[in-house]
Amino acid sequence: MIRYDRKLKIFALNGKSYTYMFRITDKGVLQHLYFGKRLGVFDARSATDLGFEWSHTYLDCDSAERNYSDNYYNDKSLAEVASHGLMDKSGAAFVIEKNGATATEFIYKSHRIYDGKPKLKTMPCAHADEAQTLELTLDDRFGGARLILSYTVIKNSDVLLRNSLVQNVGATDIVLKRAYSTELDLPQSGDDFIHFYGDWCLERFLERAPLINGRVEISSNFGRSSHEHNPFGILCDRHTTERAGEAFAFSLVYSGNFTLSAYVDKWRRTRVLMGINDEDFDYLLPPRAEFEAPEGVTVYSDGGLDGISHAMHDFVRDNIITYKNAKAARPVLFNSWEGCYLDFDTQSILEYIDSAKKTGAELFVLDDGWFGKRDTDQASLGDWYVNARKIDLRRIIDKCHALGMKFGIWFEPEMINPDSDLYRRHADFALGDRDKERTLSRHQLVIDTSRDDVIDVLFDMMSGILDEYEIDYVKWDHNRNIGEIAGATAYGETYHKIILGTYKLLDRLQGKYPDILFEGCASGGGRFDLGMLYYCPQIWTSDETDPVQRLFIQYGTSYGYPPSCMGAHISKNKIMSYTDKGRIALFGTYGIEMNPCTLDDGQIAEVLEINRIYKEYHNDVIANGDFYRLCSPFEGNYAAMMSVSKDKSKAVVLFANLLKENNRYRFIKLAGLDERKRYKNTLDGRVYDGAYYMQVGINLSVWLDEFTTYLIILEEC
C-alpha cells in the first residue's frame, strides 16, 4: 500500500482507487506530487517532472535565481508541509512562534513504514485491522519544533488519514499559533465546494458553490463542531454528479472548533487546510512537551459523490465507531422528550411505558427531567442523582424489564445550572469569569472539563447512577455553545482541552460500561462529527422532527455519515401520516418520540407495520448496506433515496412528493443494484432486471398528493 523509491525519494501511497505521492527535495522539503485516480504504473520519473517546466520559465525571469535546482522555493510548487513566513503565502498548516519569530519550515530527517495504525494518546481516532502507516520525522530549520507526520492507508478504502505530532525539542518555550491536521495542494482550481451549513432544527443543509480566486472557508468557533457548519466538505469538479466524476472530501476526528478552507492562489493551485480553528488557539509547548493534532481524514472518489459517501459510510462503520454491538440490529427506541418534556411523574411514565410497548418499542428512554430538582430547564444540571420526589426510577426500570423492554436515560454531563447543588458546592467548575456577568444559554453554564478533578466528580456521579440501575442506553446531550472562556487552563488552550476532557470522561465511562449504547446529541445535531461517533454509534440528527424538514436534514447528512448513525424518530408532527413519517424515519436509526397514549388503534397499526419493515430490512439494507441519493429535495419537488444490501439481494427505496405536482412523468432511476439480478418490487409486484430499474427506472407517474411517500422494497428472486 505504501512504497518508497529510494533513488527518486518518492513516497507513493495507494488506496483502493487513489494514489497519493510526494517526494523529498534536494533541500529536504516535502513536495506534493499527485493525489488522484490510482496510477497503474508507478512512474516516478514523470511524477517528479510535474512542475519543473513552470519552474524554469519562472526562474529564467530572474537570472540571480537560476541556480536553484529546487523549485520548492518558488511559491508555485505543490507543498506537502508548506512553510510559513517565507515565500509561500497560501497558508501553512503550522505556525510556530519561537523567540518572537514565526518563520517555520520543516525539513525531512527520517521515515519508517510499518503495518498497522497507531492510536492517538489524547483523542479518538480511526482504527483499522489492515492498514499501513508512513511516519516521517521533520525538524523545523528555524529550531525548536519537531514534527512527526504520519499517513495511514487503510486496506480496501478510499480514506487517507494524516496525523501530526509537534514536539518541542529545543531548550526554550515555543507557542503553536496554528496546528492544522490536513494540508493538500491540488494543481487545479475550477472546482466546486460542497459543504453543510445550518442552524438548530436545520442541520446540514447542502450548499454547492464554485471556488473563488481567494479563500473559501467554513468553520466553528462555537466550542463544538456546531449546527452552523459541519466539519466535512467536498471539493469536486464542476461536472461531478452523484454517480460520476472526481471528488475529494475532508473531515476531522474532532468535536471542537474547526476550520476547513480552500485557497485558490494566483497560480490557480488550490490549497486545502483543515484542523482546529486557530482563532482563540495559542498552545504553549515548554521544552520536551508535545501537541497532538486531531486526525485528518481525506477521501478520494472517481465515482462521483456516491464514491465519497460510500467511502465515508464504510469508514464510519468500520473504522470510527467503537461500540461493540454497532453492526447488530438496534432496538426500536421510544423517547419520552417530545411527549412530555419535563412534565412527568412516575405514574405518567408508567403509562407511557405501557403504551410505548404497544407501538413495538424495545428500548424506553427517559429523557431530561429525572434528576436533581429538574422540573424546569432552569435548574439541576450537574445534580446526577434521582429526583425521588418526582419519580421512582426503580419502579420505572422494573416495569420496562417486566415488559421485555430495555431502559435508557439522559445526561448532559458537560453543563451546570447556577441553580444546582453542584454549583453551590463547586462554583469554580463553571467556565467564565465569576467576577463578571456571564452569558447564560438555556439557563446554563459550561463545565470546565479540562480539569481532571472535575472529570473525577462527574464520573463518580454518573457511575453512581449506572452502577445502581440497569441502564442499557445513555443519551449524552450538550445544549449550548461555549463562550467567555476563562478557567483553569490558559485561554488559548481551553477550547481544545475541554473537548479532550469530554473524551476522557467518555473513555472512562465506556471502559467501565462497554455494553451501554451511547447516543450523542447537542441541541439536536450540533455535534455530529467523527469524534463523537467514535463513542456514540448514533447521534440525534436534529430536534426538527417535521418529516419534510427531516428529508432535507437527513439527505444533507448522508453525504458524510451513514443512515445507521442518524437518530430519526416518528413524532407527533401532523404534516404527514404515521406511515409516511415512519418511512422517512426508517432512513435513520429509527425510533418513536411522542405521547404514545394518544395514538389510536389505526395509528398504532401504522407504526407496527413500519416496525415490521424495520425488523425485516433495516439492518442488512439500510444500516449496513450502501446508500444512494436519487433525487435531491434541494433541487426540486421530490426527494428519493435508497439503500442496497452489500450482497445486492435486497433494496429499500424511499420516494417523497413534497408539493402537489401531477401530470408529470416521474421515472426514478435506481442505483447500486446488480444489473443481471432479477428483483421483484412491492410497487407493481413485477419482476425486472437490475439494469431495467437503473436505466428505465420505476414509474411513479401517478396521482400524488402533497407530502406523500412511497416505500418500495426490491428483493432478488
CA gap 549, 339 in Å, rounded: 20
3-state secondary structure 195-230: EEECCCCCCCEEEEEECCCEEEEEEECCCCCCCCEE
Residue 623 CB, nearest distance to ligand DGJ (Å)?
A: 21
Indicate which residues carry an active-site annotation: 477, 543
The residues in 457-496 that bind ligand DGJ, with binding defined as CB under 6 A, are 477, 479
CA gap 196, 493 in Å, rounded: 27
The residues in 358-397 that bind ligand DGJ, with binding defined as CB under 6 A, are 367-368
Nearer to ligand DGJ, 461 or 670 (CB): 461
The backbone region for 526, taken as left when phi is positive above 0, alpha when psi lies in -120 to 50, beta otherwise, is: alpha
**How big is the site for ligand DGJ, counted in residues (CB under 6 A)?**
11
Question: Residue 597 to residues 82, 348, 353, 401, 601: CA-CA distances in angstroms?
Answer: 62, 10, 9, 19, 11
**Should residue 416 be labelled a site residue for ligand DGJ when binding is judged by CB under 6 A?**
no
Each residue 31-70 as x (binds ligand DGJ by CB under 6 A) or -, in order, gives: ----------------------------------------
Q: Which residues pair with 264 in a beta bridge?
A: 214, 270
Binding segment (CB under 6 A) for ligand DGJ, from list 131-139, 214-222, 518-526, 682-690: 518-526
Nearer to ligand DGJ, 221 or 523 (CB): 523
Contact indicator for 95, 183 with CB cutoff of 8 Å? no
Nearer to ligand DGJ, 139 or 367 (CB): 367
- 447 secondary structure, DSSP code: B
Residue 410 CB, nearest distance to ligand DGJ (Å)?
A: 6
Residue 341 CB, nearest distance to ligand DGJ (Å)?
A: 8
Q: Which three cell numbers stand for residue 594?
A: 411522542
Residues 6+ apart with CB under 8 A from 587: 554, 563, 566, 568, 622, 641, 643, 654
Residue 201 CB, nearest distance to ligand DGJ (Å)?
A: 10
Residues 290, 351, 543, 546: which binds ligand DGJ (CB under 6 A)?
Answer: 543
Residues 540, 552, 614, 688: which binds ligand DGJ (CB under 6 A)?
Answer: 540
Residue 613 CB, nearest distance to ligand DGJ (Å)?
A: 24
Residues 382, 487, 524, 556: which binds ligand DGJ (CB under 6 A)?
Answer: 524
Nearer to ligand DGJ, 521 or 641 (CB): 521
Binding segment (CB under 6 A) for ligand DGJ, from list 215-223, 483-491, 520-528, 609-617: 520-528
CA gap 291, 254 in Å, rounded: 15
Residue 211 CB, nearest distance to ligand DGJ (Å)?
A: 34
Residue 471 CB, nearest distance to ligand DGJ (Å)?
A: 16
Nearest to 139 by CA among 99, 81, 181, 66: 81
Exposed, middle or buried by CB within 10 Å (0-12, 13-18, 19+), for 149? Answer: buried
Residues 523, 541, 564, 571: which binds ligand DGJ (CB under 6 A)?
Answer: 523
Contact indicator for 537, 517 with CB cutoff of 8 Å? yes
**Cell 405518567, residue?**
348
DSSP codes of every residue in 38-87:
PPSS--HHHHHHTTHHHHHHHHHT-GGGTT---GGGSTTSPBSS--BSSS
Residue 562 CB, nearest distance to ligand DGJ (Å)?
A: 20
Q: How far is CA 336 from the centre of its chain?
A: 26
Nearer to ligand DGJ, 187 or 369 (CB): 369
CA gap 307, 246 in Å, rounded: 9
Residues 174, 482, 498, 521: which binds ligand DGJ (CB under 6 A)?
Answer: 521
Binding segment (CB under 6 A) for ligand DGJ, from list 135-143, 204-212, 345-353, 516-524: 516-524
Question: Residue 212 to residues 207, 394, 457: CA-CA distances in angstroms?
Answer: 15, 60, 49
**Cell 474547526, residue?**
258
Q: Which three cell numbers stand for residue 119?
A: 492510536
Nearer to ligand DGJ, 78 or 462 (CB): 462
Nearer to ligand DGJ, 140 or 368 (CB): 368
The residues in 320-339 that bind ligand DGJ, with binding defined as CB under 6 A, are 337
Which residue's Cβ has the minimum distance to ligand DGJ?
368
Task: Sort strands 363-366 and 30-37 into parallel, antiparallel or unpaired.
Answer: unpaired
Nearer to ligand DGJ, 592 or 613 (CB): 592
Each residue 643-682 as x (binds ligand DGJ by CB under 6 A) or -, in order, gives: ----------------------------------------
Binding segment (CB under 6 A) for ligand DGJ, from list 456-464, 517-525, 552-560, 630-638: 517-525
Nearer to ligand DGJ, 294 or 408 (CB): 408
Exposure string of 678-707, with b = 16+ CB inside 10 Å and e = fewer, is ebebebeeeebbbebbbeeebebeeebeeb
Binding residues for ligand DGJ, rule: CB under 6 A, are: 337, 367-368, 410, 477, 479, 521, 523-524, 540, 543
